[in-house]
Amino acid sequence: MRIPVNTASHSYDVVLGNGILSEALQSYNEMIDNADRLIVLTDEHVWNAHYLYFQKNFRKPFDVFIMPAGESCKSFENYINVQTFLLEKQCTRKSFIFAFGGGAVGDLAGFVAATFMRGIPFIQIPTTILAHDSAVGGKTAINHPQGKNMIGAFYQPQAVIYDTYLLATLNKKEIRSGMAEVIKHALISNKDWFNDLMQLSITDLNSQSLVEHLKMGIEVKATIVAEDETEQSVRKYLNFGHTYGHAIEAAAGYGGISHGEAVMIGTVYALLLSNRYGSISRDFIKQFLKFASDNGYPFDQVSKFTFEQLTPYLVKDKKVEYGILNFVLLKDIGEPFVQAIELSECKVIDQQFRDLIEEVCK
């Protein structure tokens, strides 16, 4: 199936299905055949797991650069290493990049594509559930020691080829991480869909059910990105759960906790704020926290950091304006909005969150 993504700068499709890599690549033959160099950027775990499948279905000569796995591939050092590799391979503005991996590979590869010779085309080939979110919409970035995704660009791919055959090797931690973004998409868009997800053991979905939930998540993101490509308004809603989540993720050291696990922690924090500013009930928050805890999300991570340790990362959030934090909250499920929150109030909610974790998860 094809899901269109129509942005102001560029329109393209997300091609979604099982075992579709060869057929999908062939549908872009004209574009690919015009390239003078084909470069595949991947990481060591993905390449070890899938290189035979990739080589079987990618029937053109290419050069591959294998990067460190996880968030470490989004470092300045690796970014420079990739740029050096492209120069050594005599790549030009006619060269073409393929991002073959999870969210970190896609973020790094997209930023490389956006900046090499001021921009060359690339295609996303995601290999994780998490990347159903990160591969769509053109956000590309690398990390800075003081904050996640601080250096980047909005740069749309030519296509996203999402072959769910590649998801079969994911472990439960990776499935949990990816499904956090699916749950986020449901929370900001559709109460019935969210209620369906709440009935599931999210690490035990069959492939057909998983594809359907991924399709719905991609459609939510595509709709929002079409309205606001560069995050001036409604695209901020996609950051639900990310402000506090990014702080936890950064404090733990990138890779210490998965992105999706951090987002789920941040989601409960955002729901507590939504109880103050919207109509989200405390009972609902308790039920949701129990659901998330039962599905293995590591809320014990919160107790490893004081609020004061999280504060430097909170105030570096990209939604901070004139020193005020802006959180995405919910009036109700499917009704997101942005609310300015003082740091002193963040501290109060942080303590409420810690107390709730003690009550529900112990």
**DSSP per-residue string spanning 122-153:** EEEEE-SSTHHHHTSS-EEEEEETTEEEEEEE
Q: What integer best gives the mean pLDDT of the chain? A: 94
Catalytic position from the list 88, 118, 171, 362: 118
What mean pLDDT do residues 218-239 have?
93
User: Given this model, what pLDDT does residue 318 score?
Assistant: 66
Catalytic position from the list 221, 249, 275, 318: 221
Does 146 share its domain with 208? no
181 catalytic per annotation: yes
Does 158 share its domain with 263? no
How many CA within 13 A on the CB side of residue 153?
15
User: Given this model, what pLDDT does residue 135 score?
Assistant: 94
Query: What pLDDT digit, counting tens, does each position of 176-225 carry?
Result: 999 999 999 999 999 999 999 999 998 888 888 999 999 999 999 999 99
Does 141 share its domain with 190? no
- Is the pLDDT at 358 greater than 80, yes or no? yes
121, 142, 169 - which closes a domain:
169
239 catalytic per annotation: yes
Catalytic position from the list 181, 229, 249, 261: 181
> In the chain, which ranges are continuous DSSP H helix?
21-26, 29-33, 44-57, 76-88, 103-115, 131-134, 172-187, 191-197, 207-227, 242-251, 259-277, 282-294, 307-314, 343-361
How many CA within 13 A on the CB side of residue 251?
23
Stretch among 48-52, 89-93, 206-210 having the lowest mean pLDDT:
206-210
Catalytic position from the list 74, 132, 184, 246: 246
Stretch among 11-15, 123-127, 165-169, 203-207 having the lowest mean pLDDT:
203-207
What mean pLDDT do residues 234-249 have?
94
136, 154, 169 - which closes a domain:
169
What mean pLDDT do residues 272-297 have?
97
139, 169, 199 - which closes a domain:
169
Catalytic position from the list 50, 74, 236, 242: 242
User: Given this model, what pLDDT does residue 316 score?
Assistant: 81
How many CA within 13 A on the CB side of residue 139?
23
304 catalytic per annotation: no
Does 162 share its domain with 227? no
Name the residue range of residue 178's domain: 172-361
134 DSSP β-pair partners: none
Catalytic position from the list 259, 261, 275, 295: 259
Asked if residue 41 lies in contact with residue 112, where contact means CB atoms within 8 angstroms, the answer is yes
User: Given this model, what pLDDT does residue 19 score?
Assistant: 95
Does 151 share its domain with 195? no
Catalytic position from the list 74, 139, 176, 318: 139
Does 196 share its domain with 345? yes
Does 152 share its domain with 236? no
What's the domain count of the chain? Answer: 2
Residue whose structure tokens are 């949990």? 176
Distance CA 237, CA 228 (A): 11
Does 136 share its domain with 193? no
213 catalytic per annotation: no
Query: What pLDDT digit, counting tens, does each position of 295-346 carry?
Result: 999 999 999 999 999 999 898 876 676 678 999 999 999 999 999 999 999 9
11 DSSP β-pair partners: 6
10 catalytic per annotation: no
Residue whose structure tokens are 């501290």? 347
176 catalytic per annotation: no
pTM of the predicted model, to two decimals? 0.93
Nearest residue to 46 via CA among 99, 95, 120, 94: 99
Does 138 share its domain with 216? no
Does 159 share its domain with 236? no
User: Given this model, what pLDDT does residue 114 score?
Assistant: 98
Query: What pLDDT digit, counting tens, does each position of 26-39 carry?
Result: 999 999 999 999 99
CATH number, position 288: 1.20.1090.10
User: Given this model, what pLDDT does residue 334 score?
Assistant: 97
Does 292 share its domain with 254? yes
Catalytic position from the list 57, 143, 149, 239: 239
Does 87 share its domain with 151? yes
User: Given this model, what pLDDT does residue 126 score?
Assistant: 97
Catalytic position from the list 50, 148, 184, 235: 235
What mean pLDDT do residues 56-83 have?
95
Catalytic position from the list 231, 249, 261, 275: 231
CATH number, position 53: 3.40.50.1970
How many C-beta atoms surround the C-beta of residue 320 within 10 A?
14
